[in-house]
Amino acid sequence: MPGVLSVNRARTHQSNGLVFPVLPDEDAFLLQVLHVCAHLFSYWIRMSWLFEIGFFLNQRASDASLWNRIEQRVGDNLMLREFVVVITELAAKLFAVPIPRLVGVWGQGIRPATRVWIENYATHCAFCDVPPYELRLLPKAKLVLFLHQQYQSTCVHTHSARNRLIKFPRLSRMASSLRDKPSLILSAGWWKRQLFIRRSLFHVLSGLRYLCEIPRWRWLNRARMRSASIDVRVSG
């Protein structure tokens, strides 16, 4: 079966005598970017997803027509534009693939904190354990919250980044299941499937790692702002 990304421009694909519709390449690329971001913000991504994007970039980075269509699809959606930059640059870091000219232009205009995250934290998150609750001393998975904070003003829920640090959605789902079926509290198999202790340890240890990183994150952002101020004075 072909991957999400097609390296041809056809809107149908033929395999073993079967013809079926596929997304246009510009839509498939943006869908894959959003898919990776959704998992990144929930603390884990598969390296194979980034490899697929890297393969696509290696084949199509110089395709001006494709990137013109991607630019039209993105339009004035600044958040989506920055997501494209984050995921494209991450794939380029890992697999040494070319960055399209359009993404390079977009990358020059992203917010400074997002640039700091790409340069200092992106690869750490890419190499996090899958699934994220695998036991490890001070896992780095929640360092993605520094990136998530840059976009939380566009989220429906306020303080969403903080809530991801201190609230555990699985606990709510467990409580809901117990309300619907109280007998589950006596089911050893059900408790085993929840991996309650391992997941709790992950949230505690990764949250501690995040808190310990806050001073460095702030220092890196101050350094970035000082560098930007110097560049402005020199160019002026």
pLDDT at 112 over 50: yes
pLDDT at 166 over 60: no
Q: Is 31 helix (H, G, I), strand (E, B) or coil?
A: helix
What pLDDT, on the 0 to 100 scale, is given for residue 85? 97
Band of the pLDDT at 45, cuts 50, 70, 90?
confident
With vertex at residue 38, the alpha carbon angle to CA 33 and CA 39, rounded to the nearest 5 degrees, is 105
What pLDDT, on the 0 to 100 scale, is given for residue 161? 46
Orientation of helix 47-60 relative to helix 25-40, angle to 10°? 150
What pLDDT, on the 0 to 100 scale, is given for residue 182? 77
What pLDDT, on the 0 to 100 scale, is given for residue 176? 74
pLDDT single digits (tens) 78-111: 999 999 999 999 999 999 999 999 999 999 999 9
pLDDT at 158 over 50: no
* Beta carbons of 30 and 74 less than 8 angstroms apart: yes
Q: Is 18 helix (H, G, I), strand (E, B) or coil?
A: strand
Q: Which residue has the higher pLDDT, 28 or 197?
A: 28
Q: Residue 133 and residue 44: Cα distance in Å, rounded?
A: 10
pLDDT at 130 over 60: no
Band of the pLDDT at 1, cuts 50, 70, 90?
very low
pLDDT at 149 over 50: yes
> At 168, which amino acid appears?
F
Orientation of helix 78-95 relative to helix 112-120, angle to 10°? 20
What pLDDT, on the 0 to 100 scale, is given for residue 42? 83
Band of the pLDDT at 53, cuts 50, 70, 90?
very high
pTM of structure? 0.76
List the domain boundaries for the chain.
1-110, 134-236
- DSSP structure string for 92-122: HHHH-PPPPHHHHHHHHTS-HHHHHHHHHTH
pLDDT at 18 over 70: yes
